[in-house]
Amino acid sequence: MKRLLLLAIGAIMVNLTAFGQCSDLYFSEYIEGSGNNKAIEIYNPTNAAINLTDYAIVRLNGGSSNPDTFYMNGMLAAYDVYIIANSGADATILAAADTTGSATYYNGDDALAIVNIKTKTSTDIFGTPGMDPGTEWAVGSGSSKEHTLVRKSTIKGGQSNWTTGVTEWDVYPQNTFTYLGSHTSDCYVPTMPQVAFGSTSETVMENDGNIMVNVSINNPSGTDATMVDVVITGGTAVSGTDYTATSPTTLTFAAGSTSDESITIMITDNSMTDVDKTIELKLRNVSTGAEIGADSSMTITIENDDYLVADIKDVRGNDANWEPALDGQKVEIKGIVYGIDLDGNAGLSFTIIDSTAGMNIFNFRDVNDYVVTEGDEITVRGEITSYNGLIEVFADSIKVNSTGNTLKDPVVVSKPSEDTESDFIEIRKVWIADTTTVWPNNGNVALTNGTDTFQIRIDRDLTDIVGQPVISDTMDIIGIGGQFDNSAFPLDAGYQIFPRRLSDIMTWDKSSVRDFTLIANVYPNPTNGFVQISAIQPIVSLTVTDALGNVVFTQNVSNELQTSLELPSVSSGVYFVQINAENASSMKRLVVE
């Protein structure tokens, strides 16, 4: 079966034509939200039920050619949807889902395909199988990471050319679940008058004044008028303060008319700094003999055009879940750039620090053609957001104020924490707590100070570090404090340090202590538990600790230049051997297999 599916994927990669219209299953919605808020929706565009046991969802992580296959089952009715959710998703997603499973184990850089098992062909793809896009696929105005994507209603079939496929989706903000559970497609032809909103969502500016909300009709009656009520049902905007409208408003479509009807909403402009707000509308009470289409709901987002000008510390506060207290607030902050751009392709991810705190600056795309340069002082405008606990500003503008500014001295801390997030820090006397011997490409390495264990993150854009051997047993590390916590709330774990370059990883400086470094050697390493130890000065004692700093073995030595050490009862793992002479010592990392 794995070979069958690989053949199907291979066919996708060479066949660059669109599939038949309204003839087979295709992806209608893709959700890549925060944490485990992930789901995919599959649409049946035909006028007959489809047996899902003939189909599977194939997922290829990054550029992998090793597929994960999720088999579907049951019958999918004509013009209906089938939803696969992550089992840890929000309750709203799970309530709409038909099942849960591994098809949703993606993080934005994975390719998906619907495969017909019987015909050994694919009916639709998302992404390019076999290609690693980096962190995400660019899609429309957003990407496959941290967005909800809904297939446009004009699309009538699957796609095998992802270059075309990226143009076929409407893009919505992260954690938008409104559209899950049904899909609007031109494949469906109503048999009676059908009314629907012209658009399910619209973003307007606070200073737009009067806006029109259009309702359309399909297959109008040639003899009777069709009426429907437009009702404001909720949202975060306040009637009379943020907008003025009449609710409900009854719209009447004349017999035989295909023209849109509309209501007017007046948006209130003010100078208050605030988050964007929403107005939610519904269609109700349609005339007898007519129906309301799938696009029966609409959300209007009022984008605030006023920015809160503040020091960074004043916009960094957390709520009870350790998410941003000012989530969605538009802010203007200023600071000096530290480090490099950690999203080295099309996009930005870097740190600025002012006299009060630091902030990560992010966007899926470049902003104002800014090239990240350490020492620049910049002014950033954007919206407060977060990613797995890391507070960010999603930038919409960047202005360079000056260049070549002096960086502050790093703050010396014992471990990364919430207090060090996006700050310039130094952690002294740490060592590797796993089996890493070469710095990874876009990976984490466990570090310990003997009491705490935490992560150093080596980003793929740190090209002078990736692939270099770890040359020091005990290190001082300078870098930017970070966080990646994709667990349950509160988001108070996963703190990291990001070095900026190889020179930020230094051999531990013992100049502040009395002992001198002892030149010593431990071999074989790795070992099965028996090692030889030699030094250029007589050895007086040995102490062995585990990766957490717990002492597992001590041994006195009679002033010998060479001795042996047996560790037959310890578990496999990483240990540290401290070799002590009269006025010198050395720490060596030992791997026990």
How much is the pLDDT for 19?
Answer: 58
Distance CA 325, CA 174 (A): 17
Question: What is the pLDDT, as a whole number, of residue 8?
Answer: 45
Distances in Å between the Cα of 446 and the Cα atoms of 118, 494, 552 are 46, 11, 20
| Per-residue pLDDT band at 273 (split at 50, 70, 90) | confident
Rounded to an integer, the average pLDDT of 504-528 is 73
pLDDT per position as a tens digit, 86-113: 998 999 999 999 999 999 999 888 999 9
Mapped onto helix, strand or coil, the DSSP state of residue 503 is helix
Nearest to 500 by CA among 524, 464, 476, 467: 464
Count how many Cα atoms sit within 13 Å of the Cα of residue 278 in the half-sphere of its side chain.
16
- Give percent of the chain with pLDDT exceeding 90: 62
- The pLDDT of 261-287, averaged and rounded, is 92
Cα separations in angstroms, 414 against 447, 471, 484: 11, 21, 19
Beta-ladder partners of 266 = 210, 244
> Residue 91, CB half-sphere, CA atoms under 13 Å: how many?
0
**Is residue 175 over pLDDT 60?**
yes
Res. 25 pLDDT band, cuts 50 70 90 = very high
Region 459-477: what's the mean pLDDT? 92
- pLDDT over threshold 80, residue 5: no
Q: Domains in the chain and their CATH numbers? A: 2-173 (2.60.40.1260), 194-303 (2.60.40.2030), 309-402 (2.40.50.140), 411-507 (2.40.50.140), 516-592 (2.60.40.3080)
Q: Is the pLDDT of residue 488 over 90?
A: no
d(CA 52, CA 25): 9
Output the pLDDT for position 119.
84
Q: What is the mean pLDDT of residues 271-293?
A: 91
Identify the pLDDT of residue 510. 55
**For residue 4, what pLDDT band results from cuts at 50, 70 and 90?**
very low
Model pLDDT, residue 93: 94
In three-state secondary structure terms, 315 is helix
Q: What is the pLDDT of residue 384?
A: 94
| Residue 118: pLDDT over 90 | no
End-to-end CA distance of the chain: 37
Q: Is the pLDDT of residue 462 over 90?
A: yes
How are the residues of the chain apportioned to helix, strand and coil, as percentages rounded to the nearest 5?
5, 45, 50
Rounded CA separation 264/270 (Å):
19
Owner of token pair 């007898």: 288
Q: What is the DSSP letter of 9?
A: H
Cβ atoms of residues 428 and 522 within 8 Å: no
Task: Dump strand ranges (E) for 194-325.
Answer: 194-197, 201-205, 210-218, 226-234, 243-244, 249-253, 261-267, 277-284, 291-292, 297-303, 308-309
| Conformation bin of residue 234: beta by default, left when phi > 0, alpha when psi is -120 to 50 | left
User: What pLDDT score was predicted for residue 568?
Assistant: 74
Secondary structure string (H, E, C) spanning 58-101: EEECCCCCCCEEEECCCEECCCCEEEEECCCCCHHHHHHCCEEC
Mean pLDDT of 137-156: 91
CA nearest to 230, candidates 198, 208, 255, 205: 198
In the prediction, which pLDDT does 360 show? 97
Residue whose structure tokens are 């849960």: 100
pLDDT tens sequence across 403-428: 999 999 999 999 999 999 999 999 99
Q: What contacts 526, CB < 8 A, 6 or more positions away?
A: 590, 591, 592, 593
pLDDT-above-70 percentage for the chain = 94
What DSSP designation does 6 have? Answer: H
Instruction: Using alpha carbons, select from 183, 174, 169 the residue that is nearest to residue 148.
Output: 174
Whether the pLDDT of residue 257 is over 90: the answer is: yes
Mean pLDDT throughout 475-501?
93
pLDDT digits (tens, 9 = 90+) for 357-410: 999 999 988 899 999 999 999 999 999 999 889 999 999 999 999 999 999 999
**pLDDT of amino acid 120:** 83
* Model pTM above 0.85: no
Looking at every residue in the chain, the average pLDDT score rounds to: 89
Is 60 exceeded by the pLDDT of residue 2?
no
Query: How many CB atoms sit inside 10 A of residue 387's CB?
Result: 19
CA distance 279 to 242: 10
pLDDT band at 16, cuts 50/70/90? very low
Residue 589 has a pLDDT of 85
* pLDDT tens per residue across span 185-236: 989 888 899 999 988 889 899 999 999 999 999 899 999 999 999 999 999 9
DSSP 318: B
**Confidence check: pLDDT of 556 > 60:** yes
Q: How far apart are CA 473 and CA 522, in angstroms?
A: 12
